[in-house]
Amino acid sequence: MTLALIPLLPLLGALIPSLFRSRNLNALSAGAIAGISMLLLLLQAPAVFNGEMPLASWSWIPAIGLNFAFRVSGFGFMFAFLILGIGLLIVLYARFYISADDPMGRFYSYLLLFMGSMLGIVLSENIMLLMMFWELTSISSFLLIGFWSYRTDAREGARQALVITGGGGLAMIAGFLLLGHIVGSFELTTILAAKEIIHAHHLYPITLILILLGAFTKSAQFPFQFWLPHAMAAPTPVSAYLHSATMVKAGVFLLALLFPVLSGSSLWFYIVTPVGLITFMFAAYMAMFKDDLKGLLAYSTVSHLGLITLLLGLGSPLAAFTAVFHILNHATFKAGLFMLAGIIDHETGTRDMKRLSGLWKYMPITGTLTMIGSASMAGVPLFNGFLSKEMFLAETLEPNLFGAFSWIVPLGATLAAIFAVAYSIRMVHDVFFKEPFTNLPKKPHEPPHGMRLPAEILMTLCVLVGLFPMTLAAPMVNMAAGSILGAATPDYHIAIWHGLNMALAMSVIALAGGAVFYLQRLRLFDSHRWCMRYCDGKATFEALIRGLVQGGRTLTGLMENGSLQRYIALLVGAVFVLGASPFFGSSVPFIGPLAMSSVDPVTLIMGLVLIVCTVATVVNHRNRILSIIMLGSVGLIVSLSFIRFSAPDLALTQISVEVVTIILLMMALHLLPRTTPVESSSVRRGRDIGLSVLAGGGAAALMLAVLSRPYDTIAGYFLENSKPGGGGTNVVNVILVDFRGFDTLGEITVLVIAGLVIYAMLHNFELTAPGIDALGRPWVQDRFPMILAQITRPLMPLALLFAAYIFLRGHNEPGGGFIAGLIVASVLILQYISSGIVWTRPRLTVDNHIIMAWGLVIAVLTGVGSWVIGYPFLTTSFTYLTWPLVGKFEVASAIAFDLGVFLAVVGSVMLILVKLGSMNSKDAEIVSASVQKAKEKKEGAH
Amino acid sequence: MELLFSICLGVMIACGVYLMLRGRTFPVILGLTLLGYAVNMFLFVSGRLHTNLPAVISPERAQYADPLPQALVLTAIVIGFAMVAFVVVLALRASGELGSDHVDGRKENES
């Protein structure tokens, strides 16, 4: 558990620094959390240095092979140590760097979020888990780069970094999934033992390329290098931490981690080596000409990452060993240099090397530290950078790398080393020496000691490791490399002096060449201007993004022009194409083998009437009243057809829904225009007719194809178990309240939500109905016909009794809660229609909301009741009681559920119709008042 | 019988789609209702056309109409009503807010 806490603690504690207002508490809490993680990590040290690998694993989602599993390998330990060690220094540094105007708590929260995610990457045992942490680092990097979100460059840089690393992350997910597929496990231990299986698999090349894409984007390798220099818009602690020491190393970490299983093929060599070499040279070249201190360091970082990639590409164990060593060295000196660049920026107000000069007099300590870091970066002997660079140069001389072109690698390496020396000299000489400065925003002075301390620690380490590599660095590097390479670990002695050899000669050439290069820099500055303009990927990136957005907008504009008519046309067309396409080129006959049954005359006539009414609805759709009548007829014939084809329940439901639907449409019509103007062009109408005929023809053909085929149903189960299991003989009702009770619960919930939404939409909404009809005649004034009112009042108790009957018999005979609910709703609405809202409202005081809500509550409680007696949700229990007079009587819990359905239906239907009707009524009253007034005026005139 | 039924269904679908493609809200509502009928019929008849089969279980009968599509369609009818009601209210609200009953909220004088 303590192992899992190492990454989890910073993640879980990420919010804590935001809780404090005091800046010291912000920093302290962040430092404490990182410190505890560090202690937990050090607890693992004895085991790890012993060659063991502590593991902690919990099953998370076993179905997809995702385990919550962590491991501390030697390499992981070294990385975690780097992350936490430099992290602690950054926490201290940022306390002084982040100004009082910035939200420091938020900064530390992001920082901890990043720290935890990065630790997760290096300590994950499961690669799916690793992937999650990987994406988290992209996100936290995005947040940190964009920390000063009011700055355009920060926002652009953050977006660019997220797109590039996130895009690479997507490729990597695919690569990991393939890797897991090949090996059959997502556990690193299993994967690392499966080199032969992976190499032999036909998916190996694509897996490798996808994973490399992820690693290269993260580690800013060519051609994805450009995001890193733009990420320098972040506050300097972030650049020092994420964009030099840790996050950008995640890519090379992954390469090194999977080195044992992925490397060793020519594909690996021919991709990784050239990418590393090009990045190494190109970025070193670019770094020379950057006037911005951080820009210089950023390109230098890219270059060093290229160096590490190149080493891993070479593929020999010693090269991998050197890569590990260089990761450590680079993190030390580059994080320190970034901090120093931040100090210079902080104390002078600029980091433009054209303006900075002669700072030595004012900042001697900072100057000394910068010199140490730069010397290490350039590879000057006695500093740690020299050691790994020397080993690297020796590795490039390995013969037969590229056959006849073997000289390319050492030549390129030497050239890049020359550039590195040149930019290192520039960083020291331009900033601290040359002529005295003339226009600096602030008068420079040494920073507070707390701000300098982290850089002092790191630079001291650079010197000490440079002087005593065997004591200080070798154990860690041996352990880390050992955990990657296993038995193949070279028995290597890190030393300052390896005798007079080729590598030393290359180092000397680099140092001398670099000095010459620096002296000639002014001439070079002119000749490289074109490069600065074209080699920055940002312009290309922005152009690409712009193109994508433009393309997307054009496509959206075509598909989604804001017209419902176009959407529906596209939808219908697409459904037709999708539905019809499988039938083309299929050898199966479209019409199935079953013979058709004969048609009886009544059915034929009803079918024809249906067709006539349907077509009449369309033909008369400009005369809206007429089209409603036609539509109502269609609905009635549909109910009849349900009876005709043995579905009495459906017929009952349809006919009662029909009543409320027509009432609803009439109400709507009162408020809407009564006619539809002719506005479509004949071309448009022709298109629509064509589409409709296609859709109708397609549906008819599909129906015929279905009906002419034999079929198999799962209904047998329901028929058999309806009586013994559900206690009812009406199978449809038993399915509704018992077998599929959960569906029904969902459906009445939808109904209730629809009721509420409609109520909300009409609440406080006024729509004035026209006071005259289409022909300009005012509405008649005796609004409530007396005969209708007198008939509907006695009808009501009868209808309620009938509804109760339908409801109670529902379980065994056609009927049930839905139908009873609709009948009650219809008869109540009838009272409103015949007597008006003014008369009915005071007599029907129950709030429809309450009825509806109780319906849902009762339905849910019935379901929960089954839990209480130990059954799954919504299981029906029933028993038989014998009552006097009534006789044997069945009591099923399903009837309570059906009661819930009944109430929900009554409540929501009433809610909808009464709300709509009360809008009408208000308008009608206004209208009648105005008509009255007009009449009086007329009479007055007489 | 199957052919007659299919033709009726096709006509309903075609008319429903045509109305849905109109420019004013009211025909669209009519079309939606019509389409609702047709879809319910389609689902219902996927349990095949049965004549004179009992709806409830009784000891004398061995064959029954398929109850499953019926149960599904029963709730679909009620939900269909809720949906039509919702669209109606949407149309009312839109005509109130936009001053036009065109589906795209187009004003009368615009083309």
pLDDT for A773: 67
Same domain, A375 and A501: yes
CA distance B88 to chain A (A): 7
Reply yes or no on whether the pLDDT at B50 is more than 90: no
A402 versus A183: which is more confidently predicted? A183
Cα distances (Å, whole numbers) of residue A255 to A117, A212, A332: 18, 8, 20
Query: Which of A598, A668, A703 lies nearest to residue B6, judging by beta carbons?
Result: A703
Reply yes or no on whether the pLDDT at A783 is more than 70: no
Query: Which of A627, A647, A697 lies nearest to residue B55, judging by beta carbons?
Result: A647
Averaged over A675-693, what is the pLDDT? 86
pLDDT tens digits for range A582-606: 888 777 788 888 888 888 999 999 9
Averaged over B23-27, what is the pLDDT? 88
Distance (Å, whole) CA A299 – CA A590: 66
Among A260-269, A433-442, A519-528, which is the least confidently predicted range? A519-528
Q: Which two tokens stand for residue A837?
A: 């809202």
Domain range for A21: 1-258
Same domain, A312 and A205: no
Q: Quick check: is A744 in a domain?
A: yes
Averaged over A601-623, what is the pLDDT? 91
- The phi, psi pair for B74, rounded to 5°, reads -60, -50
Cβ of residue A633 closer than 8 Å to a chain B Cβ: no
The 3-state secondary structure of A679-727, one letter per residue = CCCHHHHHHHHHHHHHHHHHHHHHHHHHHCCCCCCCHHHHHHHHHHHHC
pLDDT for A924: 53
User: Is there a contact between A611 and B96 if contact means CB atoms under 8 Å apart?
Assistant: no
Averaged over A356-385, what is the pLDDT? 88
Strands annotated E in A841-923: 878-883, 887-892
3-state class (DSSP) for residue A890: strand
Q: Quick check: is A533 in a domain?
A: no
Same domain, A90 and A184: yes
Place of tokens 């192992």: A3
Q: How many residues are present in chain A?
A: 942
Same domain, A194 and A305: no
CA A426 to chain centroid? 44
Rank A358-367, A833-842, A878-887 by mean pLDDT and report only the highest: A358-367
Q: Which two tokens stand for residue A214?
A: 């992820």
Number of domains making up chain A: 3
Same domain, A899 and A795: yes
pLDDT band of residue A923 (cuts 50, 70, 90) is low
Reply yes or no on whether the pLDDT at B79 is more than 80: yes
Neighbours of B110 (CB within 10 A): 9
- Residues with Cβ within 8 Å of A368's Cβ and at least 6 positions away in sequence, in order, are none
pLDDT for A631: 93
Reply yes or no on whether the pLDDT at A893 is more than 90: no
pLDDT for A42: 92
Residue-wise DSSP of chain B:
-HHHHHHHHHHHHHHHHHHHTSSBHHHHHHHHHHHHHHHHHHHHHTT---SS--SB--TT------HHHHHHHHHHHHHHHHHHHHHHHHHHHHHHHHS--BTT---TT--
pLDDT tens digits for range A204-231: 999 999 999 999 999 999 888 888 888 8
Interface test with A, best of B15, B29, B35, B53 (most A CBs within 10 A): B15
Closest residue in chain B to residue A813, using alpha carbons only: B56
Reply yes or no on whether the pLDDT at A110 is more than 70: yes
Distance (Å, whole) CA B6 – CA A586: 22
CA distance B70 to chain A (A): 6
Same domain, A199 and A76: yes
pLDDT for A242: 86
Averaged over A840-867, what is the pLDDT? 86
Averaged over A517-523, what is the pLDDT? 78
CA distance A677 to chain B (A): 9
Boundaries of every domain in chain B:
2-50+66-98
Distance (Å, whole) CA A552 – CA A555: 5
Averaged over A288-302, what is the pLDDT? 88
Packing angle, helices A317-348 and A364-378, rounded to 10: 160
Cα distances (Å, whole numbers) of residue A157 to A228, A556, A856: 8, 27, 52
Place of tokens 């970066």: A377
Distance (Å, whole) CA A254 – CA A130: 10
Distance (Å, whole) CA A412 – CA A419: 11
Place of tokens 């000196």: A333
Place of tokens 């309806």: A722
Restricting to A residues 701-720, those with a Cβ less than 8 Å away from any Cβ of B are 701, 703-704, 706-708, 711, 713-715, 718-719
Which chain A residues touch B14 with a CB distance below 8 Å? Answer: 692-693, 695-697
Same domain, A225 and A299: no
Alpha helices in A433-473 (DSSP H): 449-467, 469-472
Same domain, A279 and A254: no
Query: Which of A563, A676, A689 lies nearest to residue B26, judging by beta carbons?
Result: A676
Averaged over A875-882, what is the pLDDT? 70
- The phi, psi pair for A798, rounded to 5°, reads -60, -45
CA A869 to chain centroid? 42
3-state class (DSSP) for residue A858: helix
pLDDT for A529: 64
ipTM exceeding the 0.90 mark: yes
What's the sign of the alpha-carbon dihedral B27, B29, B32, B38?
negative
Cβ of residue A398 closer than 8 Å to a chain B Cβ: no
Q: Which two tokens stand for residue A675?
A: 């006619």
Query: Which of A627, A671, A699 lies nearest to residue B10, judging by beta carbons?
Result: A699
Do residues A491 and A86 make contact, with C-beta atoms less than 8 angstroms apart? no
Distance (Å, whole) CA A428 – CA A337: 11
Cα within 13 Å of Cα(A287), Cβ side: 33
Same domain, A252 and A290: no
- The phi, psi pair for A448, rounded to 5°, reads -60, 150
pLDDT tens digits for range A486-515: 877 777 777 777 777 888 888 888 888 888
pLDDT tens digits for range A658-671: 999 998 898 888 78
pLDDT for A670: 79
Reply yes or no on whether the pLDDT at A888 is more than 70: no
Closest residue in chain A to residue B71, using alpha carbons only: A732
Closest residue in chain B to residue A765, using alpha carbons only: B93
pLDDT tens digits for range A719-761: 888 888 777 888 888 888 888 888 899 999 999 999 999 999 8
User: Is there a contact between B84 and A747 if contact means CB atoms under 8 Å apart?
Assistant: no
Cα distances (Å, whole numbers) of residue A158 to A111, A242, A283, A494, A572: 15, 13, 21, 39, 42
pLDDT tens digits for range A29-84: 999 999 999 999 999 999 888 888 888 889 888 888 888 999 999 899 999 999 99
Averaged over B53-62, what is the pLDDT? 77
Closest residue in chain B to residue A734, using alpha carbons only: B71
Which chain A residues touch B27 with a CB distance below 8 Å? Answer: 621, 627, 676
Averaged over A855-868, what is the pLDDT? 86
Same domain, A174 and A276: no
- Residues with Cβ within 8 Å of A533's Cβ and at least 6 positions away in sequence, in order, are none
Averaged over A839-844, what is the pLDDT? 77
pLDDT for B86: 92
pLDDT tens digits for range A244-264: 888 889 999 999 999 989 888
Reply yes or no on whether the pLDDT at A411 is more than 90: no
pLDDT for A757: 92
| Percentage of chain A modeled with pLDDT above 70 | 93
The closest of A237, A247, A248, A265 to A97, measured between CA atoms, is: A237
pLDDT for A223: 84
How many Cβ pairs closer than 8 A exist between chain A and B? 302
Q: Which two tokens stand for residue A551?
A: 């393309």
Same domain, A185 and A235: yes
Q: Which two tokens stand for residue A530?
A: 């074109």
Among A277-281, A737-741, B30-34, B42-46, which is the least confidently predicted range? A737-741
Query: Which of B29, B48, B68 lies nearest to residue A735, judging by beta carbons?
Result: B68
Which chain A residues touch B24 with a CB distance below 8 Å? Answer: 673, 676-677
Among A387-401, A554-568, A651-665, which is the least confidently predicted range? A387-401
User: Is there a contact between B74 and A767 if contact means CB atoms under 8 Å apart?
Assistant: no
Reply yes or no on whether the pLDDT at B111 is more than 50: no
Distance (Å, whole) CA B44 – CA B67: 9
Reply yes or no on whether the pLDDT at A461 is more than 80: yes
Same domain, A177 and A272: no
